Amino acid sequence: MNWNAIGAIGEILAAIAVFASLLYLAIQIRSNTNQSRAMMTHGLEKEYSGILDSVINNPQFAELLAKSLAIETLSSSEELQLRAYSNKFLNIYNATEAAFENRQISADYYEAMCQDADRVVREYPAIAKEARDLILQFPELSKKKVFKPFTTLTDD
């Protein structure tokens, strides 16, 4: 064998090694992306569960929500609680929007959260109105899909 043949074999082996390295990197990147998405989804779910826990674990707050559903007059402290609760929803929806824009969550999860925002507007009008008032303070939010149900709400 001459040196040219040995050099050609070396180049072929080097090309195979580069290809194998690139393949390995692609697999690792995909795995890390999937893991990152799962962690982001879990984090959003944990925050959302925290909102629900505030109703489940606090009978007084559950009573406040029941009053708001019955469209009873709320005290100023109850209005403040309801506004803070609405703000928690908006923070989660905003984080969901940002995660979707950065491709950190799946389109299916994002759509489910958009549908949840629509459900909140339909089922909890007092929360929806508080949320809408907060959104209107930040016009850039009203352009985002997850906030659309709140911005189309009227004071009927």
For the segment 135-145, the average pLDDT, to the nearest whole number, is 86
Over 80: is that where the pLDDT of 128 sits?
yes
Percentage of the chain exceeding pLDDT 90: 28
**Assigned token pair, 116:** 């949840």
**Assigned token pair, 66:** 């029941």
Contact partners, residue 92, CB within 8 Å, separation at least 6: 44, 47, 48, 51, 113
Q: What is the pLDDT of residue 156?
A: 58
Whole-number Å distance between alpha carbons of 141 and 88: 15
Whole-number Å distance between alpha carbons of 133 and 140: 14
Under the banding of pLDDT at 50, 70 and 90, the label for residue 96 is very high
Residue 15: C-alpha distances to residues 10, 18, 19 (Å)? 9, 5, 6
Over 90: is that where the pLDDT of 122 sits?
no
Spatial contact of 79 and 112, defined as CB atoms under 8 Å apart: no
Spatial contact of 74 and 67, defined as CB atoms under 8 Å apart: yes
φ/ψ of 71, rounded to 5, equals: 55, 40
